[in-house]
Amino acid sequence: MSAIRALIAVLLGTLAACSSTEQSRTGATTRPPSFIVIFCDDLGYGDLGAFGHPTIRTPHLDRMATEGQRWTQFYVAASVCTPSRAGLLTGRLPIRSGLCSSRRRVLFPDSAGGIPDEETTLAEVLRDSGYATAAVGKWHLGHRDSFLPTRHGFDQYFGVPYSNDMDRTSESPRGRIGIVEPKSEYFNVPLIRDLTIVERPAQQETLTRRYTDEAIAFIEREADRPFFLYLAHSMPHVPLFRSDEFVGRSARGYYGDVIEEIDANVGRVLESVRRLGLEKDTIVVFTSDNGPWLSYGDHGGSAGLLRQGKGSTWEGGMRVPTVVWGPGRVAPGVVTELGSTLDLLPTFASLSGAALPAETKLDGHDLTPVLRGTGPSPRTGMFFYRGAEIWAVREGPFKAHFKTRSGYGGEKVQEHDPPLLYHLEHDPGESRNVAKDHPDVIARLQQVVEDHRATVEQVPSQLEIR
Ligand code: MG
């Protein structure tokens, strides 16, 4: 009897393998790739070994960068959480979906808005093409039921719906002390499975590990078919938390412990991909939602040689450390071409054969030629929105700033006419204004902004609804 059962299991396994994975004559698989996006919160450009940090040890990410691509000019759609995430998941600048505002920069626990049903998410694009989909970790695109991931293309969700510093409890010491000496009990943050709160307050010391456990369980369960996993860590957004195993591990202190725990858990994800034999069928993107939160001193990260951080339209706010890994599908190397999280939706659609959302103005480009090492990036520039306004624009090596302000703190808005102009390839730290030498470039960049504005339709801000 057991022999018959074993035979049936083998036959079923073979059928499943045939339906999901076609083997070419060379033995290379031709099935559409699975995608894993590991998205950190407030990780700075200079916070990884592979991006030059001298004391934070990130061996798994460094190996991933050596085996894959290290992108040095990769941007997010905005310098704070909610609009940045909206940009990644829709392939559209958040001004188009209403997931930005100049009055309230992100969604808060008292917000009643979220991602509109009219938006087509990356998860919907891939699920309609037969992918299994999962969101794990921080969401921040609306915490009411109709906005949660399972209503926007994800088969399953496990995570925290907004930032881990929100909804302070009465036990929390006021001011910074509750943030720099944090306890989970200080933040009434819910942990949600699909649509149900399963823990409150979320035990934050365990989040990096538990998110990864959930991610690995999903990969194991869906190994036989293409999948899309969006793993959005709550860390290293302050208040910082790490598990006991990582306390005191890093020479960089508390913040370094947190990054080293993330790195170890990236290693666990890649190990599971390898163990299941999926490394030739999986593309993993590791990046961050915005720059480091500099106003928290030691508890914030570093933008390395870039200027400023989270919340600002300087490079440190929106250029993020990005690694793309996919042995056999991604040509290894250092990529100095331009890319953006806005590009993931069209790129993944292209690689999977999925249809792009119809009649939708996308701001992303298909980066497939760069991933394969066959051609240049179709992305030649970037818009830098602060809230609902364009404060800066990049085209080629030049970036013009029309307004500037640090991400946080009391600095006043400075308006620039003529705009400040930096040559980012010569001067990535934005320290030498070359506006006087290039009036023609400034005129061209101003025209780029005008042309872009003409494509933007006014929609209500979701961040202002309470
Ligand atoms: Mg963030």
Dihedral sign (CA 295, 297, 299, 300): positive
Catalytic residue set: 81, 140
Q: How far is the CA of 81 from the centre of ligand 1 (A)?
A: 4
Task: For residues 113 and 195, state if they share a domain.
Answer: yes
Average of pLDDT values for 262-270? Answer: 99
Residue 30 banded pLDDT, cuts 50, 70, 90:
confident
Q: How far is the CA of 224 from the centre of ligand 1 (A)?
A: 33
404 is in which domain, residue-wise?
383-464
pLDDT at 174: 86
Q: How far is the CA of 288 from the centre of ligand 1 (A)?
A: 8
The structure's pTM equals: 0.94
DSSP per residue over 372-432, as a string? HTSS--S--EEEEEETTEEEEEEETTEEEEEEE--SSSSPPPEEEEEEEEEETTT-TT---
Give the single-character DSSP code of 455.
T
Task: For residues 296 and 444, state if they share a domain.
Answer: no
Query: For 445-457, what is each residue's pLDDT tens digit?
Result: 999 999 999 999 9
Could you count the other beta carbons within 10 Å of the beta carbon of residue 466?
A: 9
Q: How far is the CA of 290 from the centre of ligand 1 (A)?
A: 5
Task: For residues 189 and 322, state if they share a domain.
Answer: yes
Q: How far is the CA of 234 from the centre of ligand 1 (A)?
A: 9
Task: For residues 319 and 426, state if they share a domain.
Answer: no
Task: For residues 388 and 374, state if they share a domain.
Answer: no
Domain count along the chain: 3
Task: For residues 219 and 279, state if they share a domain.
Answer: yes
Query: For 130-152, what is each residue's pLDDT tens digit?
Result: 999 999 999 999 999 999 999 99
Task: For residues 3 and 143, state if they share a domain.
Answer: no
Q: How far is the CA of 164 from the centre of ligand 1 (A)?
A: 10
